[in-house]
Structure 1
Amino acid sequence: MADPRPLVIDPTGRDIHGEAERVRANGPVTLVELPGGVRAWAVSSPVLLKRLLTDPRVSKDPRRHWKRWIDGEVSPEWPLFTWVAVQNMFTAYGADHRRLRRLVATAFTARRTAALQPRVEEITKTLLDGVAEAGRRGPSVDLREEFCYPLPIQVIGELLGLPAEMGAELRAVVDGVFHTSATPEEVTDVYTRFYAVLGELVALKRRSPGDDLTSALIAARDDEDDSRLDEQELLDTLMLVISAGHETTVNLLDNAVHLLLTHPSQLAHLRAGRASWQDVVEETLRMDAPVASLPLRYAVEDLEMSDFGGPRGTVVARGEAILAAYAAAGRDPGRYGPDAAVFDVTRADKEHLAFGYGVHYCLGAPLGRLEASVALPALFGRFPGLRLAVPAEELEAVDSFISNGHRTLPVELH
């Protein structure tokens, strides 16, 4: 029987999948407590989650539909404040979301993404040269630091036209956004510094526009209503592109390498041609979603969960928050069978929700897949004897219940 008390989510994310099991054990939709005592309904059933993510009675706009926000109970010191306070398509609803997504889509085109492949290949090769050099200096290399992290941050930086001298500060503030056990002082500091970097970038591109995404977003115009992004929307859209386009890919690369090195039989499938690198990418996204839980959505009206295929009698009341529990959904036995927690690149059904679903499906998904499909085969081709430098159980998780990855990924190159 499910525990009627809310399950308290560990803000440090020390045991993402253990916690996901506990969430599932409480039922497909269960009450949880987030940092700061904020309660939400965690949805771990992929079927139920897909239906909620596509229902117009579920909003992402706290200003209109989250009772705690409307009542003034959410302060800027809350660790998840940035996730709900921004004004971009991530937190927009209905017509506002459609307008913002159209504006971003005119700038973040499939053509612009596809054109990045030669540059992704070039950056990958350069980074692997650096990994080899680091391997000559010591017995092990932190692959997250030397490869998984710098690849997507360099790609997104070049996509946005970010000057190299802003890179270090950008990395620091993005890390801060995902640090869900941060102190109030740290939250405020990150929020202020992030806007300072973005403001500097926008001012630079207004003075000297280029063939980059920032310049394109500044110039973007919606043909339907002849609107543009206002200043806050522009800054917050850049914040979304940087955060979503970077951290998720870091974790995708990190988790894929970790899974392959701890499952040599699956690596053997690849080398024997029984599976493709696309299989690796999709199974990693299902098995170890880069974003474990995504805050927040809100009930526009009372929602009886049985109407969505959930348990009868469970009602998410109007104005209550909903947490998309992607890590739990990816290993749901009801959806994937008794081997749901098994990494299997030959699995026929790898469908997942790691990039979201419905109108809020991640626009950057093709870029993340592109980077992984280039980087992973290049890494294992360059270092066929790659192995973990420490026992897998000694690896530590990043300090977040949102971001799902490792603090370090030490490997031996051989």
Structure 2
Amino acid sequence: MSAVLPTAPTPSPTTASSTEPEAAGPQGQVMRLLRRLRTEADPYPVFDRLRELGPVIPVPALNAAVVTGFQECRHVLRDPAFILPDTAWRDAHADGWRHHRSVVSYAASLPNANPPRHTALRAHLAQGFHRTALAELRPVVTALVHSGLNDLGAALRAHGTADLTEHISRPLPSRVMCKVLSLPDEDAPVLAGLTARWTAAAELFPSEADLDDADAADSALVAYFLRVVQERERCPGRDFLSTWVAAARADGVGIDDIVVHTAQLFVTGFMTVQSSLTSAAYAVLSSPGLTAALRRRPEDMGAAVEEVLRTRPAAAVVGRVATRGCVLAGVPVAAQQRLIVVIPAANRDTRAAATAHLTFGVGVHYCLGAALARLQLGEFLPALLSRFPSLRLADAPVPGDPAPGAPLDPAPMAGIALPHHVRLLTTTARATR
């Protein structure tokens, strides 16, 4: 499918130099490119440019190295010598990092935990994502997909155009996560809205205003999930969340930690799938040839889903810290130096196998919800093509707003979740020339 699915072309040096001033060396170019990620409707040429600068690029101003090569990124993600910048590491090496509660919640969550804490937490949370649980969820996901497509169809009939993100990409994963956690379906829009505001805590260059708003969203999320967790502890059921709360309490996990992990489970399960659904729709609707090929060969749908995941991963940047000095692709890396691992650049590395990708991570930190994300994408794409044979893009996609007044230096090591094309207008009207 890689020959069918369109990918953004790598801009030539001549084209690039005509649109931006010459940067002062690789470090300056890296900083410039990282800041462009949230202002580009299509950021993938930016990732290609980063990779062109080398598989590992030292950035002394950040005490970091940017890692873009596939093999190098895979090595950093797999090798236990490279740890996540968890709360303990930040307390020791990042003064003042606890200023924003949303950043603290992010750093304390499962995706940022190191063994052995990570191992214990994951063992309990994995129960909600095992094969039997996902099999039970499949008809629920199918029904939610068709409910969203019904809403999309109604909006198209009423207005001629409709935002696919509004009707599918945002409500579907939020409602699925409500099912996973046995939360009221009517709470999904509120939780999705709070999550959208919270995401600044997971960005590389958030502004203070963004983080203040993320803190307010974090307070609301914690208050919501505190009520939920306390209720499941008082009146446990047979649902996944009740089981997780009981097991965690039996292991001595405090109620505050349980609340944070539950809230972050919703946040990550919603945020990344929302981006993937929109990216998948954009990839299909922007390529009539791909749409036609998938209709001719629906058995290729699984490969198309994997290609979307490879070329347009939701999480763009993840952080690691070297626990000891080493050399990576010929570049010296000092102990306690940060590694900025750029997943889309690695996935698009031509040195890697055509279908290989790191979208869900690798090793002990492989994404807990990978199968659930694939399930939603796998149900959504064929249903979209079947229900709307004449659906097309009505306008150019609009990216997320850039953070105003972003600081020169990034916040303590975070990741970038990129909900690209947050407005994806569609229509079934015939294109006019």
Do residues 406 (structure 1) and 433 (structure 2) align? no
Higher-helix-fraction structure: 2
Distance, in Å, in 2 between the alignment partners of 1:195 and 1:41 is: 34
1:255-404 pair list within 5 angstroms: 255-273=279-297, 276-294=300-318, 296-305=319-328, 310=329, 312=330, 314-335=331-352, 349-390=354-395, 394-399=396-401, 401-404=416-419
Residue pair 1:161, 1:214 contacting (<8 A) in 2 also: yes
Contact map agreement 1:62 1:69 (CA 8 A) in 2: no
When the two structures are superposed, what TM-score results if normalisation uses the length of structure 1? 0.85
Output the CA distance in 1 between the equivalents of 2:147 and 2:376. Answer: 14
1:64-83 counterparts in 2 under 5 A? Answer: 64-66=88-90, 70-77=93-100, 82-83=105-106
CA RMSD of aligned residues (A): 2.6
Change (3 A) 1:160 1:65: same
2:226 to 192, 196, 199: 199
CA distance in 1 between counterparts of 2:296 and 2:374 reads 22
Out of 38, 51, 55, the residue aligned to residue 13 of structure 1 is: 38
Give the corresponding residue for 1:156. Answer: 177
What letter is aligned with 1:377? Answer: P
Which letter maps to 1:121?
A: T
CA contact (8 A) 2:174 2:189 kept: no
* Letter of the structure 1 residue corresponding to residue 303 of structure 2: D
User: Against the structure 1 CA distance between its residues 216 and 6, is the aligned structure 2 distance closer, same or farther, given a 3 Å change threshold?
Assistant: farther
Unaligned runs of 5+ in 2: 1-23, 403-415
Question: What is the alpha-carbon distance in structure 2 between the residues aligned to residue 265 and residue 69 of structure 1?
Answer: 53
Instruction: Flag the 1:2–1:11 CA change in 2: closer, same or farther, 3 A.
Output: closer
SS of residue matched to 2:321: strand
1:168–1:94: structure 2 CA closer, same or farther, 3 Å change rule?
A: same
1:164-215 CA-partner distances (Å, limit 9, x unpaired): 4533331122112323435242132122222112212212322333343321
- Look up the SS of the partner of 1:289 in the other structure: coil
Task: Please give the alpha-carbon distance, in whole angstroms, between the structure 1 residues aligned to 2:94 and 2:172.
Answer: 42
Structure 2 counterpart of 1:214: 241
Which of the residues 71, 85, 89 maps onto 1:47? 71
Counterpart pick for 1:120 among 141, 148, 160 = 141
| Secondary structure, counterpart of 1:350 in structure 2 | coil
- After superposition, what is the alpha-carbon deviation per residue over 1:315-340, rounded to whole angstroms, capped at 9, x for unaligned? 2222222222111112123326xxxx
Deviation at 1:374, TM superposition (A): 0.8
User: Counterpart of 1:246?
Assistant: 270
> What is the CA–CA distance in structure 1 between the aligned matches of 2:86 and 2:263, rounded to whole Å?
18
Residue 83 of structure 1, CA deviation: 3.1
Q: Give the Cα–Cα distance (whole angstroms) in 1 for the partners of residues 320 and 362 of structure 2.
A: 13
Q: Number of matched residues? A: 383
Which residue, out of 53, 66, 91, partners 1:26?
53
CA contact (8 A) 1:2 1:26 kept: no
**1:203-258: CA deviations, max 9, x gaps?**
23223333433212102269xxx725332331222133212211111111111111
Alpha-carbon distance between aligned partners in 2 of 1:332 and 1:220, rounded to the nearest angstrom: 42
Measured in 1, the distance between the counterparts of 2:145 and 2:79 equals 40
CA shift in 2, pair 1:287/1:275, >3 Å: farther
Query: Which of 137, 142, 146 pairs up with 2:163?
Result: 142
AA in 2 matched with 1:162: L
Q: Secondary structure at the match of 1:3?
A: helix
Is the 2:392–2:426 contact (alpha carbons within 8 Å) kept by the matching residues of 1? Answer: yes
Alignment partner for residue 102 of structure 1, among 123, 141, 160?
Answer: 123
Would you say 1:58 and 2:85 are equivalent positions?
A: no
Q: Distance in 1 between matches of 2:258 and 2:104?
A: 18
SS at match of 1:220: helix
What are the Cα deviations for residues 61-94 of structure 1, in whole angstroms up to 9, with x where unaligned? 434445x75342424349855432x2x3322222
Distance 2:94 2:140 in 1: 48
**Deviation >4 Å, runs of 4+:** 78-82
